[in-house]
Amino acid sequence: MPSHAPTEAAKPHTVLVVDDDRDSADALCELLGLLGFSTLVAYGGEEGVAVALRERPPFAILDLHMPRVGGVLACTRIRQQVAGGEMKLVALTGSDQAIDREAAQLAGFDHFMVKPVMVGALLRLLQPAV
């Protein structure tokens, strides 16, 4: 089960996972935990924005395709806040379409990953947090 960090600023090895698919979010949190990271989880974009701005983790992984507030809109909202400028944001999606890559880049994502997550690639992205 995903852990939740204290409400003060998140530790340098904390990763926020935002995905409306609870099983996917929980599985990614579990994987990150096995790799030595602390995790925060949100099961929707709106909740993800709130957690990101409250906890200020160094990394957040946001699913692009969520109802109501998708990853692109969530990223934009995070980037509009002062605390969101320092956060490394990773777009995660099940489709590797050019339109998704372009939208992610325009929204301000730092990285783009396609499901299923490749552990080695994920570790390279999160390396500065370790």
Distance, CA of 14 to CA of 32 (rounded, Å): 9
- Dump pLDDT digits (tens) for 18-45: 999 999 999 999 999 999 999 999 999 9
Cβ contact 113:64 at 8 Å? no
Residues 92-124: pLDDT tens digits? 999 889 999 999 999 999 999 999 999 999 999
What is the spatial distance between Cα 61 and Cα 48, in angstroms, rounded to a whole number? 10
Q: Domains plus CATH for the chain?
A: 20-129 (3.40.50.2300)
Q: Is residue 33 within 8 Å of 122, Cβ to Cβ?
A: no
- Helices and strands (DSSP H and E) totals, the chain: 5, 5
What pTM was estimated for this model as a whole?
0.88
* C-alpha–C-alpha distance, residues 101 and 48, integer Å: 20
